[in-house]
Every structure is written in C-alpha cells, then in structure tokens.
Chains A and B, each alone.
Chain A
C-alpha cells in the first residue's frame, strides 16, 4: 500500500486564479499590517524590559486575587495570565505575571521580587516560582536592534545568493515571498496577541529559511525547464515546474508539519508560541512559494535567450539528453 498525497501527473494551472490568489495574499498582507498597527505586538520582556515571573500552585489560579495582592506594591503595569497546557498535571496551576520595568532599575531589585513573592504566598500558600526573568531597558533596546538586524541580514544574504545562482527576477520573487511570510506571521501574532519575544525572532528566521528552501526547489526546476522547453511560454514552464515539484513540496511540508504538530501538542507551553510561529510559517511559506514567488517572476519576465551562456547559472545539468 502506498500513500500518495499528490497524484503523479498533476496539471494544476497555478496561474488560473492568479488574480484571486495574488489579491488574497496582498489583502492578507495589508490586513496584517493594519492589525499590527492597531493592536501592536504583545512584546515579551526581552523587547520591552521588565520582569516575568512564572508561578505554580496546587490551588486554582485566581487572577483577580493575584492582582489584588500585587496592587499595594505599586509596580505599574502588571499583567497576569493563567497558562493552560495539556502536559500539566491536574493540580498544576500555572500563571505568568509580567511587570513593567521599574523606574531607575536596570534589572528588578531583590526586594521587589521578595515583596511580590510574599504577597502571592498570601493568596496561595504553596505557590512556587519556577522561573523569574528580568531584563533591563538597556538590553531590551539592543535586543530589538539585533533582532531587526538579524531578519534584514538574512533577507539580504538570501537575495544575494539567489541572484548569484539564478536570475535577478527570481531573487525578487523569492524575497517577495519571504516578506509575505514574515508579514503574515507578524500579523497573526498581533491578531491573537501571542507573546512576541526573542525566540519568535528565531522562529521568523526559520520560516525565512524554510520558505526559501521551498521556493528554491521550484526555481531550480524552473531553471532546468527553461532550458529544456525553449519554445514554451514562461507561464507554462513555471506551471510545469510547480507541478513536477508539487509532490515533493507537499511531502516535505507534510513531514515537517507532522513533527511540529507533535511538538505543538506535547512540547509544553514554554515553547508553544515559538512552535506555533514555525508551523504557521511553514503553511504560509508553502503557499507563498506556489502562489507568490512564481507570480512575481512571471510579472517580471525572464531572459530566454540561452544561446549566450549564462555564467552564473548552474549549467551542469542543462544539456543532458534523456
């Protein structure tokens, strides 16, 4: 018995509904930006400074009581969220408390932490504090800068590499797809207000890496087919290439998603946001390599005169007779 996600000889016209798909992508990107501008991101302490305390108790978390206990301490902006996770035991009640950066302190003072812990012990006597993390405003500012640099650096490196290995049109298409993926991921994080911290930047870069992987495979085939079918119009060549690699695209996305879903369900709440970002990115990344990257290449057109040897392209496999 063999499993076939995709029949062997598909002939999907990926451009038939180009207006719809491309329009949908554009619309989603605009919506993501709007959501981002309206709601903003729920930045974690890595980026905004402050302290986050994880509490654990056998008693049910009473957010209001926690808040009331902390109010007399005048800590400024305090957010308390209960954490639920299928991996928790029945009497394991976890909450995350986030406190804004305190005036004049780089990292939180030990007295403040002790006060907070005492106040919470008043509410739930058996409460424990599995993690206490505090980031000063100085560092958080730098972390934002480095994070933005990392994403821009990755994008630039990829554009240059694709441009060297393919034609510039492909580089533009690939990067458009990547920006699409990153923007949509930021959009969903803004929409659901999932905590956005340093690990999510790593996730964004992974998405970039994965999506480019997908796009390159399709492009690689297009490069090969452009030489094979010299007379066919670009649109057909791109379609043939996408169809030929479709089975692989689906297989790889499928296996990766399988692994990620296991991690999403069983991996615990600490990395759930991170895993969610990657899983979401793989879905939009797969979509964008099929529907965004190629559209851009089609719009820009590609030089088809192969009589002049292109020194940048990998010509090694171009002229083998089969």
Chain B
C-alpha cells in the first residue's frame, strides 16, 4: 500500500530529526568550537569568568560534536615520519655484548680468549680462540636469551645464536624484533605526543601508519618546520666522564670509551667513557633559565635516585671534567667545582632563548627511542584553507540552487518533495560526519557537491518509473506504489556499486582522498534513505491529505 504505517512514519521522521540535530552545531561552527574548548578547559580544572561565559555560548543539552576540518581547510602542518626501528635493534645488540663477554670470560678455560669482530649492525659477532669450547660457548650465549611471548602465544627466545667454527653470531629473533618494533613505535608515538602537547597546539593528530610510520598533523601551525624542529632531534641526553680532549677525529678512544665531537667548537673532540653517569631519562624537570652572565641556559633536576648517583659522582670527582652529551655531540664539558648534592644544575652552551626553550621541551618530553626520517611534509596556510571553504560553500549553494530549480521545473510538486529531501539529505550528511567524527577535506566538499547532484538520482529513478506506470496502472496510488517497488532494484544495484567504490577509496586512500571517500559513502547512505523513505513519506502524507484523482509527475 502507498500509505506508510504510523510507527514507520514516526521512525523515519525521528531519524531525520536526530540527524538534523547532530548537524546543527556545524551551522554555528565558531561559537560551538569556542564553547567546546572552554568546556574542555573547565573540565581540566581551570575556572574563570570568561571561560564560563564562553562555555555558555552553546547550550549543553544540544549535541556539540563538530565536523573536523581537514588541514587543507583549516591550515596547518602535515608530516609523515618514518621511525628507524632498526636503530633500536643495533643498540640492543650493542648493549648485549658486555653480557656475552662476561659470561664467556667466566669460562676462559674451555672457550679461550673472546674477541668481538666487526659485522653488520644487525649482528653481534664473537670469536673464541678454543675450537673445542665452541659448543660450550654456544650453550652459554644461548642461555643469555630471555623468553619473548609473541601474539601467537608461543614463547621463544629473544635471540638467535649460530656457531660456525669458532665464530658465534648473535641476532635478534623474529619474535623479539617484532616485539621490540612494537615497543619502539608505542614509545615514539608517546614521545611525539608529549613533545607536541608541550608546545600546546590544539587537537594534533598523531597516528601510526603501517609498521614503521607515524602521521603527524597539527592544525594552526604556520609551518611544518616548527614541528620538524621539535621532532628532528632524538634528544638523548647523557652525562659522561671525560677521559681526554683531542683534535684528532680518528684517534682510537680505547675499549669502553667513545669519541664525540663538540657542538660549538669545530675540530674539538672528546674521548668519553661509554657508560654514562646519569641519563636524560632520569630527569624530573627541565626548563629555560639564565646563567650568571645572563645567557640562556636549561635548568634541570634529576629524580631522587639519579640525584644520589650524581651527588656521589661529583663528590668523588671534584676537579675533573664531565661532558653533557646530546645526541652524540658534547654541548659542554664543565669541570666539577664542588659536590653537587641536590641533583639539579644548569646546562650552558651557546644557546639562543629559543633553542634553550626547545631543548627544555625535548628533555621534559623524553628522548625518542629511534631517529625519525621525514618522508612527506605539507604546510597549508590558514588563509588558503579559508578561501577553499568559502569557495566550496558558494559552489555548493549555487550548485544546490540550480539542482533544486531544475528538479522543481521538471517534476513539479514531486520535484519539490525531492528537493525537501535533498535539503534533509545535506543535513543528514553533516549529522553523520559529526557523529563519526569524520574529517571534512576539500575533496570532501567536492564529494558533498557531487552527492547533491547524485542524491536526486534515486528520486529521479522513482519518478520516471511512476510516470511510466501511470500509463498502465489503475489509479495514481497504484502507480506510485509500483514506481517505488520497481525502481528499487535499480536503486540498490547502482548505489551498492558506488558504495563499494567509496569503501575501496576509504581503505586504500589517505588524507584528503579518504575524506572524499567518507563524504561519498555517507552521502550514498543518506541519499538512499531520504529518497526511499523521506520522499515516500512526504508523498504518502500528501496523498492521504489530498486524495488526488490524477497526479502529474
């Protein structure tokens, strides 16, 4: 029957009302955004009259989720970085060597002398001098392995050991590598988030992409460079005892030591003990400060444990220098004047205020476990974004108006029903976008405009079918009913295929393309809903009210 039962009618219009309510905040974008920001701050514990006032700009009983604007609309920086996870593997093996040496040295009688041989960074190569002790050495080194639990639940060792004659080769096991990569990525994400939060920009997107990449999007930043400055250094800070100073870059530092260049004085190198006294991980706080000559510096404080170690060390080594090393460069190497008991101090160097502030931020946020490479960076100015929004809005309005007039002239009253459905459809798209927290991008706007054009398609299919059925059907009610019934298979088939395309775009695309896929996909769903249910409901209400003898479609 043409008439739709009351429960169904109520369901249809309830959906429409809910959808439109969800879309409503987007009509007052700035006001809602200010209010949301203020609420977030109040929730975080801040209070002030202005905040209360701003929060009250949007009543709390109304929905307040907004469509996120993509970087191409809002302006900001977009960076795709790759994490050098293999660095961590190498440094793990580096740290593993002393253990291997110690355990083998303890059984010198069976295995003989132990020497480390050069090899690729993914391997640790150890040569023993007694071929007869090879099996014993193999056993010993393998015994150093720790179990790793992988996702499959099977426990295996974290190292693989091979022996070939008197050469022992230690590599990381597959399970350990993937577990280690996972840890490195999580840690990297956390550190990136902390560093970006430190500078206080709003709503950054920090997303893992694939196995070794992180996508960083920060709206409202003037240039990707600012973000690169924050992420470009790993900020591994250590305090190492100084053995000697030299100007020879090739000087052999000797076992347990390493050669590090000076940051400010080119040509000057330090030979330092490899084992640091304390490291940046043990810092409790770091901030911008000024030294006695009023030059910018970074003041730091260690946690209790490190403060004790640092205090003991300074007490024992008064008069000798120690080096402050940041990412394999010596920032400064002061001489210990006296016992430093409190665990705090300042780092001086040739800093500008900006550099010192940045360094403090990096030290507070912690060191990145591995180096980052920037694969892709985009900066979009906010004006360009605003221009795009304005242009898109105007185009959508004009395009929509043309479509509405065209439909009205072609199908008369039924056309206006379809137009009403089209307006509802637009509202529903925005409602759905806000609900799922989707991001609107410039191609996304194009997707909406395209949907405006295509949304009428389902209605056109039905109306054309009604026209045809009018020639044969008995009475207008029957013709409308048949029109809907018989157009349905064409509507489902055609929209389903388009929806599949949107789905593929969503899965494979990224950034703006994904934004387009979302609006296209949601647009298909809402346009089928409005065409099949909303227009039909409108027609059925009108039909029940008017009871026309003939209809003109």
Contacts and interface: CB of A to CB of B under 8 A. Distances in A.
Interface of A: 1-5, 8, 54, 87, 106-108, 110, 113, 128-136, 138-139, 146-147, 149-150, 153-154, 157-158, 161-162, 165, 198-199, 201-202, 205-206, 208-210, 212-214, 216-217, 220-221, 224, 244-245, 247-248, 251-252, 254-263, 265-268, 270-271, 274-275, 278, 314, 316-317, 322
**Closest 6 pairs (CB-CB, A-B):** A256-B453, A262-B399, A268-B391, A259-B399, A259-B453, A209-B501
B392 A268 contact: yes
B225 A139 contact: no
A263 B80 CA distance: 30
Interface stretch (B5-13, B186-194, B293-301, B382-390): B382-390
Contacts of A248: 457, 460-461, 464
B122 to A, nearest CB: 20
Contact of A107 (B376, B398, B461): B376
Interface residues of B, number: 80
Interface in B386-430: 387-388, 391-392, 394-396, 398-400, 402-403, 406-407, 409-412
B494 interface: yes
Nearest to A166: B493
Interface stretch (B268-276, B279-287, B329-337, B467-475): B467-475
A150 B506 CA distance: 10
Interface stretch (B48-56, B141-149, B345-353, B509-517): B509-517
Contact of B375 (A138, A216, A257, A266): A138
Interface stretch (B129-137, B152-160, B251-259, B443-451): B443-451
Q: Is the interface of A mostly helix, strand, loop or mixed?
A: helix
Contact of B450 (A146, A266, A278): A278
Contacts of A213: 454, 457, 494-495, 497-498
Given A209-B502, A210-B454, A266-B391, A254 B406 contact: yes
Contact of B374 (A107, A130, A149, A274): A107
Q: Which of A132, A138, A271 has the most CB of B within 10 A?
A: A271
Contacts of B375: 106-107, 135-136, 138-139
A311 B452 CA distance: 36
A65 B454 CA distance: 46
Interface stretch (B35-43, B316-324, B484-492): B484-492
A216 B494 contact: yes
Given A110-B225, A154-B501, A220 B490 contact: yes
A316 B378 contact: no
Contacts of A150: 504-505, 508-509
B504 A153 contact: yes
Given A251-B410, A259-B452, A271-B443, A266 B398 contact: yes
19 contacts: A5-B410, A54-B384, A110-B225, A130-B381, A146-B508, A150-B505, A198-B513, A199-B513, A199-B516, A202-B516, A212-B498, A213-B495, A216-B497, A248-B457, A255-B454, A256-B453, A257-B453, A259-B450, A317-B489
